[in-house]
Structure formats: structure tokens, C-alpha cells
A = this chain, B = another copy of it.
């Protein structure tokens, strides 16, 4: 078929730029929420797939396995138990909706609450996908800076007061409180309580994104903000992408029916993939609780390798706080390093990183910062990749000095 037809004049205003053709992953890929392939629980997933299909595969002939638009009931039942045990959340299967990854959860929450011109509050450094979505929706994202305990409540209080003075009621406060993306912090319980107090005072719901909360080094996490809420103004989302595998597109939403019933009306996809829900529902009941510590230990080992490599290659030129869990490290390079430029130069050398400005509402603050994901590359790739990155950084910006590792060791 010759493509003489010109679609151009038919595209509406504001359509995003066309995608470039896919050219594969970088040789040293420190981007994306990819996980450790060695930790995919393969035998157990195969067993779960066989079991689930044997038991109820015929119900695949019916949309959503006839379990309704909120998803496969046994998976929701598992989540009720898991969320109670891990996050302190008391909910029923009716409070839960299974979605196609937590990205669909973001879309459903956004489409339920946001209109062009609205304002939301986010953590100053936050998930790029959330910032991109807000920008596309024409929503103003007010960033609240973080410290080692997550979003700063003094600044949040001031921001809420200031917005109120201007007659603006933000639509939500978006937070990733448990292994914050990208900073890796965990918000302590007292601060969560303060957040809820402010949420109630200003009538602004909390949008709690807990997608990394299974990956905490200590195995201990504070109760979810959803669990602590007295007023019910919290929407909680989570995912199996980080705990099992990201290519399985299975996430979930916990929300009061008031909001849930609106999100259900917007979920017009005839259900999320049932096979993945069946397999996870079957796998998780037996294996989730023992799988997670194994995975976390492996990830922690990769973080050690990354931190060692950074210390060796960058020395004092790379500053970072050790994350409390997760799959990424947020680091600061010397001020003269523009990580947007570094990103381009590194990619040309086979190293993919996330430049800070894409993960922050404060482009200046994040200008010399970057996010490095360590879940997917092997220990050797981490060491080699960091060495290549240091070489590129030195060539482009003069740092780290060649003697960085010597300095550090001194």
C-alpha cells in the first residue's frame, strides 16, 4: 500500500508529537521501572498459569471472567489480605478495582477529578509519568519540596493557605509516601498524620501512590495514608509491576465508592487482562509473601553495587542519600553538570539515565540531578555503565576529576 493519503490536516490541535520508531534499550539502561530478570518467579508463575487455566480457563469466554468491572475476585481477595497485613488498610473487595497497571490508575483518578486549568499539589520531585499526564491535561502542578522524610508539611501548609487565599482549591495532593520516586524516602507516620490533618482542613483529597511500597529494605513500612484516614478523602493505588513483573500490567485502586463509582464509569476497556489477573491471583496467595523479601534482597545488592561504582567513579562529585528501598537512586552531580545534556551524550555512549528536570517541578533545582534505576542491569552492567557515564560526564563537563576515586578513598 502506497501511503499517499495525508492524515496531517485531520489531527486535532494539541496532539502530542509523533513517536519515533523504537530502537531498543540502551546497552546500559538505568531507566524505566524494569526489574531484576533473575528474580522473576518463573516456575511458580508457570504452575500458577496451569492451575488457574485448568480451574477456570473456560470463563475466559466471558468478559472479565464474569467477575464484574472491578476485576478477578480472588486477586481482590488476596489484596484485601495483603493490604491489611502490610499497609494496615481495612477494605473489602468492593473497595478495590483491578486496573491495567498503576498508569491506568493515574488516568482514571485524573479523569475523575481534573479539568483543564485545575491545580494539584505534587511532591517537587516526582514520577515523570504523573507530571507528563498533568501537563497534557493542562493542570497546574504545584511542587512541594521534600526532605529525608518525604514531602515537607510546613511548605505544604503554606502552599495550601496561599492557594486558598487565591481562591484555589487543589483537586488533590499527590504523594508517593513509601519509597518516594525518585528520592527513595519514606514518610514517617507522624508526617502522614499531619498530611491528613491538612487534607481535612482544606478539603483536598490525598492521592496516595504506593507502587513501590513492597520494596522496603527493612521490610517495615508505616501504615498507608489510606489506612490512617478518618475522613475517607484518600485514593490509594498500587501495582504488581515492582513486586512481580512490570510487563504484567496489573495494578489496583482502593477508593471510597463515591470516587470508585465515577472511575468505574470511565473504565470503558471491558476489563483488564484476565489471564494476568488469574495467574497473579493464583500465584500471590501462595508465594507473594516469601517472594518479596528475596526480591528485595537482590535489589538491595544491586543498590550496593551502584553506590560502590558511583563512589569509585565519581567520588565526591556524586552526592546521594541511600534510598530506603525501591529500584532507583536519586543523585546530585556538581552544579555545572546539566543532566539533560548529560542524558543525550550518555545515550550516544550507550548509557540511559533519567535527567532530573523530567522528574521535578523545579527545573533549576533538578538541573544537575538524575535518577538511576538499578533493578534491571546486572551487577557487571552497573559497574561498566557507571564507568562509561563518568567518562562521558568528565568529557562533557570536566567532572568527576580523573582522580575522583582516589580522593574518595583518601
A contact residues vs B (CB 8 Å cutoff): 1-13, 15-22, 24-25, 32-40, 42, 45-46, 49-50, 53-54, 57-66, 68-70, 90-91, 94, 100-101, 103-104, 107, 112-115, 118, 129, 132-133, 169, 171-172, 200, 203, 205, 226-227, 229-234, 245-250, 256-259, 261-262, 264-266, 268-276, 279, 375-376
Contacts and interface: CB of A to CB of B under 8 A. Distances in A.
A245 B64 CA distance: 10
A205 B10 contact: yes
Contacts of A264: 18-19
How many copies altogether? 2
A279 B275 contact: yes
Given A19-B264, A37-B58, A60-B245, 5 more contacts: A1-B226, A7-B233, A11-B112, A42-B54, A46-B49
A273 B272 CA distance: 9
A2 to B, nearest CB: 6
A269 B205 contact: no
Nearest to A46: B53
Considering the complex of A and B, which 6 residue pairs feature the smallest CB-CB distances, nearest first?
A5-B233, A22-B68, A18-B261, A247-B274, A273-B273, A12-B115
Contact of A268 (B6, B132, B172): B132
A143 to B, nearest CB: 20
Contacts of A226: 1
Contact of A114 (B12, B172, B250): B12
A2 B34 CA distance: 37
Contacts of A10: 113, 169, 171-172, 205
Contact of A103 (B114, B259, B270): B270
Given A10-B205, A45-B53, A232-B1, A269 B249 contact: yes
Given A7-B256, A58-B37, A273-B275, A69 B2 contact: no
B247 A59 contact: yes
A39 B59 CA distance: 11
A3 B69 contact: no
A249 B272 contact: yes
Contacts of A45: 53, 57, 60
A15 B171 CA distance: 15
Contacts of A272: 100, 249, 273
Nearest to A170: B10
Nearest to A23: B68
A32 B91 CA distance: 30
A213 to B, nearest CB: 18
Contacts of A69: 19, 22
Contact of A54 (B1, B46, B58): B46
Contacts of A33: 63
Given A101-B269, A205-B10, A231 B5 contact: yes
Contacts of A259: 7
B273 A62 contact: no
Nearest to A244: B60
A61 B42 contact: no
Contacts of A54: 42, 46
A77 B74 CA distance: 34
Given A112-B15, A249-B270, A376-B61, A256 B5 contact: yes
B40 A57 contact: yes
A325 to B, nearest CB: 17
Contact of A62 (B112, B265, B376): B376
A383 B103 CA distance: 44
